Amino acid sequence: MIKHVFSFALLSLIVAACGGPAATPTPVGDINVGITDYLGPLPQLEPISVHYEVQPFIENLNFPVSMAFAPDGRLFFTEKYGAVRVADSNGKLQPQPVLVLPTDAAGERGMLGLALDPDFANNHYIWIFHTWSDPDKTRDKPYNRIIRFKEENGVGSDPQVAFEASIEFVDSTILNGGNLHFGPDGMLYITIGTTNNIYVANEPESPQGKIHRVIPTVPVGIPPDNPDPNSTIFARGFRNSFDFTFSPINGKLFATENGPDCDDELNLVEAGKHYGWREDGLCEDQIVGSDYPFARPLVSWTPPISPTGIMFYTGEAFPDWKNNIFMCAYNLGRMVRIGLDEGHTRVLNGDLRYELGRARCATDIETGPDGYIYFFDINGLYRLAPTDG
């Protein structure tokens, strides 16, 4: 176990309003808050000491990506190369995978997202996002697919295709972020990266570079109250959104976004809005100024930190962090904490300076049933547990 005391220096980030002309951020220096700014020159407020230790929970995993806790305390998760795994509430891993599917795991492809059905306790449905590997080569492109299957006693069966989207650039394996979660409205939300065709983020008909909202059926349905009642698209203009979560205060959707060498983002995603990933894919444009025509991010990082998994902390083990956003920063291997206002519409403060010892916060992060913070390195699952000092 690795013990730490974290001097929680609240760093003033951005006071960002949301919606209409008033959405222009009030930045500290610049909206593009770089890593060095977090670690040095921004003003520090009164520190709060939080004592924790980093505990290995499950080791020797094969690139775990996404996790979800079941009502009975079990933990289901994906491994990039095609397996869905399960462990009990004590971290004992079931030796055999729950399900294995033919999966193209080249580059950023793979078995990525996982969500448990809201009625999982009764129907035992699990939903996954994976890049399908066609063993018979019946198509000329690989596809990203949403699969629903049934789990009973640790065994998965009856996988069915609910939704799919082609990969635009077959020879490229990057910008393939894909995840899925159920919203508080019971609808299934899906994010799909641009698969390295950055132009599609701005195309209204293409499924890539979008966040989708669907009725969770096989095949999926289109909710009549979507921005376009004939389309699954909920919002567009994303380069490569790796993960997202919903506020426990107002149900709003918050998503991470990966830029190239600029503008990693945290976005408050609202129905029908365009998040404006630049059409040329380059970094000459800035997202400040009153004439910016798109929805602005809440926070933008330049140089990039590669935000991946994201969650609202909803446990009781760390009361000072209740309802704060936590993200993994893949480039740094650190956790990012973001503090919001009471209505969860504006960013107030945050910090990058979490020491995790030999563990890295890489792909996903969740609040466990015990109130501890669970996070994936690429070869194991760890958790933050409180200590007395």
Under DSSP, is residue 364 helix (H, G, I), strand (E, B) or coil?
Answer: coil
pLDDT tens track for 20-74 = 222 222 222 233 343 333 333 333 333 456 788 999 999 999 999 999 999 999 9
Non-local CB neighbours of 348 within 8 Å, separated by 6+ positions: 12, 13, 15, 339, 340, 341
Residue 64 in any domain: the answer is: yes
What is the pLDDT, as a whole number, of residue 41? Answer: 32
pLDDT tens track for 179-191 = 999 999 999 999 9
Non-local CB neighbours of 185 within 8 Å, separated by 6+ positions: 251
Residue 370 in any domain: the answer is: yes
CATH at residue 199: 2.120.10.30
| Token pair of 135 as six digits | 């063993």
Residue 170 in any domain: the answer is: yes
What is the count of structural domains for the chain? 1
Please list the residues that pair with 7 across neighbouring strands.
49
pLDDT tens track for 293-337 = 888 888 878 778 899 999 999 999 999 899 999 999 999 898 988
Count of Cβ atoms closer than 10 Å to residue 155 Cβ: 13
What is the pLDDT, as a whole number, of residue 20? Answer: 28
As a dihedral over the C-alpha atoms of residue 224, residue 229, residue 233, residue 236, rounded to 10 degrees, the angle is -120
| Regions of the chain short of the pLDDT cut 50 | 1-47
Closest by Cα among 378, 383, 381, 382 to 81: 378
What is the pLDDT, as a whole number, of residue 286? Answer: 59
Residue 287 in any domain: the answer is: no
Q: What domain range includes position 195? A: 2-282+292-386
Element spanning 373, H or E: strand 373-377
Non-local CB neighbours of 35 within 8 Å, separated by 6+ positions: 301, 303, 305, 332, 352
pTM listed for this prediction: 0.89
